[in-house]
Amino acid sequence: MERRRYLVAYDITNDRRLREVYREMLGWGTRLQYSVYLCDLTRPELIKLRRKLLELIDRDDDSVAIFDLGVPASSRAVVPEILGRPPTLPRQGPAIY
């Protein structure tokens, strides 16, 4: 299943929930900036992430925004222009250590 790249940004009003969401996000994406992540996900993976986040946040006070940036390797993918410190982008391919 093909993965698309999503930009996930959140605004959490409570410290405990903020920590929980932060820890959750580490399993799904690469941190771009505080509370902003890039996640390469298949659709079922996106649905699971969404479900996890909904369980963690307080729907009245917190919010999460998810932007679809397209297929990473394709020409139509949205590439953010970053000024300053270069971002870490999600890696693809085998991991050899």
Partner 1 sequence: MISREDRTIPREAAAEPGPEPEPAPLLPARMVNEFVYCPRLFYLEWVRGLWADNDDTAEGTDLHRRVDTPAGTAPEPGPGVRQVARAFELSSETLGVTAKIDLVEFLDDAARPVDYKRGRPAPTPARVWEPEQVQLAIQALLLREAGYQCREGVIYFAETGERVTVPITPELEQQTLAAIARARETAGQPDAPPPLVDSPKCPACALVGYCMPDELNLLLHRRTARPRTLITREPAARPLYLIGYGTQLRKDGNHFIVAPRDGEPTRIRPIDISHVAAFGTVTISTSALHALLAQETPIAWLTRGGRFLGLTSGLMGKNIQLRRRQFTLTEPEALELARTFVIAKIRNQRTLLRRNSRFEIGRTLEGLADAVARARLAPDSDTLRGIEGYAARLYFNAFPAMLRRDLPFTPGDLFRGRNRRPPRDPVNALLSFAYTLLTKDLTVQAQLIGFDPYWGFYHRPKFGRPALALDLAEEFRPLIADSVVITALNNGEITSAHVRRIGAGYTLTDDGRRTFLRVYERRLEQEITHPRFRYRLSYRRLLDLQPRFLAAVLLGELPAYQGFETR
- Indicate the annotated binding residues for Mg(2+): 11
Verify binding: residue 27, partner 1, rule CB under 8 A. yes
Helix orientation angle between 15-26 and 43-56, rounded to the nearest 10 degrees: 160
Is-contact 40 92, C-beta < 8 A? yes
Structure tokens at 6: 């999503």
Binding residues for partner 1, total number by CB under 8 A: 24
Is-contact 47 86, C-beta < 8 A? no
Find the part of the chain contacting partner 1 (CB under 8 A) among 10-18, 24-32, 56-64, 75-83.
24-32
Which of 51, 63, 80, 82 binds partner 1 (CB under 8 A)? It is 51
Task: Give the binding site for partner 1 (CB under 8 A).
Answer: 1-3, 23-24, 26-29, 41-45, 47-48, 50-51, 92-97
